[in-house]
Amino acid sequence: MSIGAQQREILLRETMARLARSLFDRGFTVGSSGNISVALEDGLLITPTNSCLGFLDPARISKIDRFGRHVAGDPPSKEIFLHRAFYETRPGTGAVVHLHSTYATAVSCLSDVDPEDCIPPLTPYVVMRVGAVKLLPYVRPGDPAMGEMIRGLQGSHACVLLANHGPVVAARDLESAVFAAEELEETARLVVVLRGQPVRRLTYEQVQELKQVFG
């Protein structure tokens, strides 16, 4: 590994710990729930299994090589297959965030949401930062079938909701993934708060304009 790559890895470890602590402190995840990963030139970093996002030691964050082998740090999250599925099927993915945030998880438990687009376009920001969110069927935590379901999407979605479980968000870099996960949670909160009320969504034309302007 070059000196530049080593320095980048050290910086990413510190950034992961800082952003994870921010998410934990603001209640986006609790206990030892949730996991975060970021891509490296020679593999990826991922939070360790049973670790608390509020108290990560940067030096103990797991490192996985490009062949999926654990090469440094504590043992990786048991849900690493979720992350690898995004990296392998969605080009340009630089980070993945999986949370058990309250409102997104609440939406994942509702039986009457559209599984093809379970977070409606209530604001321009959810369109710009998250996109269409697909609801995936329930499987138990740690079941590799979750990774296979994400692979089955063939990179078509940057974000999914795991039924009765929580959101998984992929983005080009770590900060973008965290910000998108936060935007998703805020929009899910609006979904719950507005439930039963007459709601004005963005129109198809408005959504297309946002996609054209912001990508």
In the sheet with 133-136, reading across from the earlier edge strand, the strands are 70-72, 62-65, 43-46, 35-40, 95-98, 166-171, 159-162, 133-136
Burial class (CB within 10 angstroms; exposed 0-12, middle 13-18, buried 19+) of 70? middle
Catalytic residues: 79, 125
State both tokens at 8: 């980048």
Distances (CA, A) of 136 to 63, 152, 161, 186: 28, 11, 6, 20
State both tokens at 115: 């599984």
